[in-house]
Chain A
Amino acid sequence: MNLPRREFLRASALAAASAVVAQRTGAADATTSPAPSPADGIAWDKAPCRFCGTGCHVRVGVKDGKVVAIQGDQLAEVNKGLLCVKGYHVGLALYGKDRLTTPLLRKNGKLEPISWDEALDTIAKRVMAAPDKFAIYGSGQWTIPEGYAANKLMKGGLSNNHIDPNARLCMASAVTGYLSTYGVDEPAGCYDDLDACDVLILWGNNMAEMHPVLFSRVIDRRTRGQKVTLIDIGTRRTRTTEFSDHYLEFKPQSDLAILNGIAHLLLKNGTYDAKFVERFCNFRQDTAAASLLGDAMTFDAYKAALEPYTPEYVEKISGVPAEKIRLLGELFGRKDIRITSVWCMGFNQHSRGTNANRLCHGIHLLSGHFGKHGDAPTSLTGQPSACGTAREVGTMCHFLPGGRLIANAEHRAETERIWNVPPGRINPKMGHHTVLLWEKFCTPTAQGGDISTVWVQVTNPGQSLPNLHKLFKAKRGLPDKFLIVSEVYPTATTELADLVLPSAMWVEKNGMFGNSERRTQQWFKMVNPPGEARDDCWQTIAVARKLFELGHPGLKDKEDKFLFTFKNAAGTEVPAWDWKHYYDVNVDRALFEEYRAFSRYKHKDLAPYDEYVKARGLRWPVVQQASGAWRETKFRFAEFDDSYVKRGAGIQFYHSVTKDDKALIWFAPYEKAAEEPDADFPFWLCTGRVLEHWHTGTMTMRIPQLSGAMPHAYVEMHSADATERSIANGETILVRTRRGQLRLPVWTNGRGHVPRGSLFVPFFDQRLLVNDLTLGEPDPISKEPDYKKCAATVVKLGAGRLNSV
């Protein structure tokens, strides 16, 4: 590189950093981006980061048709110009050397290149042959229009509800927690609570590594001299622990007891918020068979149920000292502080995940720590559009768009009206949820395996499903099962695919995401995808068109028109199913505007597409003001901010399950995990993520800077457990569960520290699939599997033989 260019890049980097500093100190206007330099040669545009659910905005620099630079977007409220290590390398996710660039069909055991036309024909014929045995498996990485199109194809076109996203594996219990507490999904508060709370409680949430930009936002408050008390409640020490004022280490599964212990103290000490509870809450408990809405219970019965959860009893179950339980009880009992709780997979990937979520909402409601900035229980998501697509668009097997339910006849009728399809088109029977869908796909047809073709988009179930031998790898010996995978890179899933479709990713296509705080975000395509890779949304529409041409009646609306008909500004129909014409019209805008019509029912109002073009995201409900302007909502159900709350109500849970504007405080007992350590398998095994890699690592492992920093998976083990078994740090051992075994290097002094009797293995490494080992016991209500708890043993690899230790 020549010298002036180097100097220029150095000056640009310094200018970007200086601009963020100027914004922090108030010396610069936070509403303008640094002006692009004409000498730069780089065109800049905005996009949300491709990776986690934090939803940071990046400025994407494009030169000569390639993404060449990334900056944190100063205009974005989420990240205020900052990014984490993954985010500032996000552009390189596009440029791994092994991008998939052509459709591939398995012939004689080998994936061979074929044309797009042959690929589309192949899919359409499989679907036509058995439309009810076809399933789509997507994710919270689907853009909103992509998920909407897939949902409409399945439910509105094929009358088939076998569509579910991988979000079932990560936030389904958060959904059931919100629904059973407030009658409507997603958090009341938002990230602004992190700026206003006095106490931040991280429930099994390693925010420093998993949502680093949000964590940085909290730490920044401390460097400004503000006092914010951090309480890390977890099963292993992490980077988050290093910054915390209190660390409460609990035995796996016993978070349920801790939550009950807090409620017990609030009642016993009389420090619960009696007025708040009386005005805004009712009480519930589970029925004998777990259910979403349970049975009503009285306040007295609730109190009696909590009676046993004394600090000493909770200590016995959880291992957390009684005085620490009292500390939590006292904090929640104080009216002079604001408390924000956050959680992610710790609560959700839990065999009693719905209950963990319910109980956390419950202690906030019982104590009145709700309804003010900084006083809120808020779940965080792992994927960029788990909220925006999986939850809001309703790509789950029991949902319709906008919070509607398959099981509700009125909801089906309304959806049919918006889709302009004949009454009765939507099948009233719920489809298979993720685990069942894959179980059915991996079961021989003659033995009840009623799913024969699965189309996977934007996810990697061959690595992320639990108990992979049963739920994924068993497909191998079933010749009549057909796996279609739309992907960007070869993955553990494409290894078993019969047909692979090369996909465009991130800024190679238009898109919209919805992050953890109800913020809907938009971006435009900036560069072309490589080779013949094409948008997932186009793939869905093109298959729909093939089905239409083959005469499938479901692909016609009431006027016999194709279900995905688009018109340009002049009103002329554009054949968007033909790739040559896909970008002749903004398909994202058209699909989003259609989808918007669904958003009002649950007060998740979305603004017109063009409002999102101008903004760095808007948090729903986005309500139009008398002036015509669109106003986002930071805190739902609270009169100070939510325009749907009646004047004078203060708080109004307007989707209340009990139809009286009240939320539900649940009682749920502590229950043991489905599989606990025993003599044969004496360790707890927990799985999770690391800072450098995003989920299954298919993108981040192809970024040299990230794979270099964290090149392979490992097993975290306590040094005393290792010493006791003559295992050295770095030594490769065998980790074994009842489902499988895996060779892994031991890390006893890494950045995470497990207690004695526990192991932790990250799941990002395709070569070391920890999900061969996991149990995946599902929550009975949400059907979300538990990835955090199963029993394991370790085996030292001796000279020539395996020694169980």
Chain B
Amino acid sequence: MPTSGLIITLQPGSATQADAVGRLRARPELTLGEVSDRWLPVALETRDDAESREVYDWLMALPGVAFVDVVSVNFEPTLSLQLHPSP
């Protein structure tokens, strides 16, 4: 289960912003922080990378979202699948 911290830059205009935030709130993979200025911090938790990509693409296409930045990724839960054999 990859877990990422994202910053969503919202487009100006309170109606568009409110609408976008409403739609974001409806996605169970997202945990929303407080909107500050036009930025919304978000935690994204997905089953796998394919789902992460799908959510990311959805976010980028969402009306009211200007840009999505990723600030952190914790891959600890998936790492055991990828580790090279221990020395």
The chain A residues found within 8 Å of chain B, CB to CB, are 1, 6, 9-18, 20-22, 24-25, 27, 61, 63, 66, 68-72, 81-85, 88-89, 91-92, 95-99, 101, 216, 219-220, 223, 528, 530-532, 704-705, 708-709
The smallest C-beta distance from A387 to any residue of chain B, in angstroms, reads 26
Residues of A within 8 A of B67 (CB): 216, 219-220, 223
Instruction: Please list 23 pairs of residues, one from A and one from B, whose beta carbons are closer than 8 Å in the complex, sorted by A's number.
Output: A9-B74, A9-B77, A10-B45, A13-B3, A13-B4, A14-B31, A20-B7, A66-B83, A69-B73, A69-B74, A71-B71, A71-B72, A84-B70, A88-B71, A88-B72, A95-B83, A95-B84, A101-B87, A216-B67, A220-B9, A223-B67, A530-B86, A530-B87
The contact string, 1 if C-beta is below 8 Å from chain A, for chain B 12-28, is: 00000000000000000
Q: A99 touching B77 by the CB < 8 A rule? A: no
Having A13-B5, A89-B73, A97-B82, one finds 7 other A-B pairs with CB under 8 Å, namely A9-B45, A17-B71, A25-B39, A82-B71, A532-B87, A705-B52, A708-B49
Q: A14 touching B42 by the CB < 8 A rule? A: yes
The smallest C-beta distance from B31 to any residue of chain A, in angstroms, reads 6
The smallest C-beta distance from A25 to any residue of chain B, in angstroms, reads 5
Query: What CA separation (Å) do A680 and B39 show in the bound complex?
Result: 54
Q: A70 touching B72 by the CB < 8 A rule? A: yes
The smallest C-beta distance from B17 to any residue of chain A, in angstroms, reads 12
Q: B72 touching A705 by the CB < 8 A rule? A: no
Query: What CA separation (Å) do A782 and B34 show in the bound complex?
Result: 53
The smallest C-beta distance from B7 to any residue of chain A, in angstroms, reads 5
With contacts A17-B43, A18-B33, A21-B7 taken as known, whether A95 is within 8 angstroms of B66 at the C-beta atoms is no
Query: What CA separation (Å) do A756 and B52 show in the bound complex?
Result: 35
With contacts A17-B41, A21-B33, A705-B49 taken as known, whether A70 is within 8 angstroms of B84 at the C-beta atoms is no
Closest to A88 in B: B73
B82: which of A13, A63, A92, A220 is its contact (CB, 8 Å)? A92
For window 34-85 of chain B, which residues contact chain A by CB distance below 8 Å?
34, 36-45, 49-50, 52-53, 66-67, 69-77, 79, 82-85
The smallest C-beta distance from A86 to any residue of chain B, in angstroms, reads 11
Query: What CA separation (Å) do A95 and B44 show in the bound complex?
Result: 23
The smallest C-beta distance from A239 to any residue of chain B, in angstroms, reads 11
The smallest C-beta distance from B21 to any residue of chain A, in angstroms, reads 14
Query: What CA separation (Å) do A17 and B43 show in the bound complex?
Result: 8
Query: What CA separation (Å) do A15 and B33 show in the bound complex?
Result: 9
B9: which of A61, A223, A709 is its contact (CB, 8 Å)? A223
Query: What CA separation (Å) do A10 and B72 show in the bound complex?
Result: 11
Closest to B35 in A: A21
With contacts A9-B76, A10-B31, A69-B74 taken as known, whether A17 is within 8 angstroms of B66 at the C-beta atoms is no
Q: B43 touching A10 by the CB < 8 A rule? A: yes
Q: A21 touching B70 by the CB < 8 A rule? A: no
Among A17, A89, A220, A705, residue most surrounded by chain B Cβ atoms (within 10 Å):
A17
Query: What CA separation (Å) do A18 and B32 show in the bound complex?
Result: 10
Q: B9 touching A13 by the CB < 8 A rule? A: no
Query: What CA separation (Å) do A635 and B48 show in the bound complex?
Result: 45
Q: For this complex, into which size category does the number of interface residues on chain B fall?
A: 35 or more
Q: A17 touching B49 by the CB < 8 A rule? A: no
Query: What CA separation (Å) do A528 and B39 show in the bound complex?
Result: 38
Closest to B56 in A: A85
The smallest C-beta distance from A144 to any residue of chain B, in angstroms, reads 27
With contacts A21-B36, A704-B82 taken as known, whether A14 is within 8 angstroms of B52 at the C-beta atoms is no
Query: What CA separation (Å) do A101 and B87 show in the bound complex?
Result: 8
Q: A14 touching B5 by the CB < 8 A rule? A: yes
Q: A81 touching B49 by the CB < 8 A rule? A: no
Q: B33 touching A61 by the CB < 8 A rule? A: no
The smallest C-beta distance from A461 to any residue of chain B, in angstroms, reads 24
Q: B1 touching A27 by the CB < 8 A rule? A: no
Query: What CA separation (Å) do A89 and B75 show in the bound complex?
Result: 8
Q: A16 touching B1 by the CB < 8 A rule? A: no
The smallest C-beta distance from A531 to any residue of chain B, in angstroms, reads 4
Rank and list the top 9 A-B pairs by shortest CB-CB distance, nearest first.
Answer: A17-B41, A13-B5, A17-B5, A68-B76, A13-B43, A71-B72, A14-B43, A16-B72, A16-B5
Q: B71 touching A72 by the CB < 8 A rule? A: yes
The smallest C-beta distance from A155 to any residue of chain B, in angstroms, reads 35
Query: What CA separation (Å) do A84 and B68 show in the bound complex?
Result: 11
Residues of A within 8 A of B9 (CB): 220, 223
Query: What CA separation (Å) do A66 and B74 show in the bound complex?
Result: 12
The smallest C-beta distance from B13 to any residue of chain A, in angstroms, reads 13
Query: What CA separation (Å) do A705 and B3 show in the bound complex?
Result: 13
Residues of A within 8 A of B41 (CB): 14, 17-18, 20-21
Q: A81 touching B71 by the CB < 8 A rule? A: yes
Q: B7 touching A17 by the CB < 8 A rule? A: yes
The smallest C-beta distance from B54 to any residue of chain A, in angstroms, reads 11
Q: B71 touching A20 by the CB < 8 A rule? A: yes
The smallest C-beta distance from B43 to any residue of chain A, in angstroms, reads 4
Residues of A within 8 A of B53 (CB): 708-709
Residues of A within 8 A of B42 (CB): 14, 17
Residues of B within 8 A of A18 (CB): 33-34, 41
Q: A11 touching B33 by the CB < 8 A rule? A: no
Query: What CA separation (Å) do A98 and B66 show in the bound complex?
Result: 40
Q: B79 touching A68 by the CB < 8 A rule? A: yes
With contacts A13-B43, A17-B5, A704-B49 taken as known, whether A27 is within 8 angstroms of B36 at the C-beta atoms is yes
With contacts A1-B1, A530-B84 taken as known, whether A223 is within 8 angstroms of B38 at the C-beta atoms is yes
Q: A25 touching B37 by the CB < 8 A rule? A: yes
Q: B75 touching A92 by the CB < 8 A rule? A: yes
Q: B76 touching A63 by the CB < 8 A rule? A: yes
The smallest C-beta distance from A20 to any residue of chain B, in angstroms, reads 5
Residues of A within 8 A of B45 (CB): 6, 9-10, 13
Q: B83 touching A531 by the CB < 8 A rule? A: no
Closest to A68 in B: B76
Residues of B within 8 A of A69 (CB): 72-76
Q: A9 touching B33 by the CB < 8 A rule? A: no
Query: What CA separation (Å) do A344 and B40 show in the bound complex?
Result: 33
A61: which of B44, B69, B74, B84 is its contact (CB, 8 Å)? B74
Closest to A85 in B: B70
Q: A88 touching B69 by the CB < 8 A rule? A: no
Closest to B66 in A: A223
Query: What CA separation (Å) do A12 and B33 show in the bound complex?
Result: 12
Closest to A70 in B: B73
Residues of B within 8 A of A531 (CB): 87
Residues of A within 8 A of B31 (CB): 10, 14
Q: B69 touching A216 by the CB < 8 A rule? A: yes
Closest to A99 in B: B84
With contacts A9-B3, A71-B5, A92-B82 taken as known, whether A16 is within 8 angstroms of B71 at the C-beta atoms is yes
Q: A17 touching B33 by the CB < 8 A rule? A: yes
Query: What CA separation (Å) do A101 and B84 show in the bound complex?
Result: 10
Residues of A within 8 A of B33 (CB): 14, 17-18, 21
Query: What CA separation (Å) do A84 and B67 show in the bound complex?
Result: 13
Query: What CA separation (Å) do A73 and B19 show in the bound complex?
Result: 31
Residues of A within 8 A of B69 (CB): 20, 82, 216
Closest to B77 in A: A1
Query: What CA separation (Å) do A15 and B79 show in the bound complex?
Result: 22
With contacts A13-B5, A27-B36, A95-B84 taken as known, whether A66 is within 8 angstroms of B71 at the C-beta atoms is no
Q: B76 touching A708 by the CB < 8 A rule? A: no
Query: What CA separation (Å) do A95 and B79 show in the bound complex?
Result: 8
Q: A12 touching B74 by the CB < 8 A rule? A: yes
Residues of B within 8 A of A216 (CB): 67, 69
Query: What CA separation (Å) do A188 and B66 show in the bound complex?
Result: 33
Query: What CA separation (Å) do A6 and B46 show in the bound complex?
Result: 11
Residues of A within 8 A of B66 (CB): 223
Residues of B within 8 A of A708 (CB): 49-50, 53
Query: What CA separation (Å) do A223 and B37 show in the bound complex?
Result: 11
Among B2, B33, B43, residue most surrounded by chain A Cβ atoms (within 10 Å):
B43
Residues of A within 8 A of B70 (CB): 72, 82-85, 88
Residues of A within 8 A of B83 (CB): 66, 95
Closest to A73 in B: B71
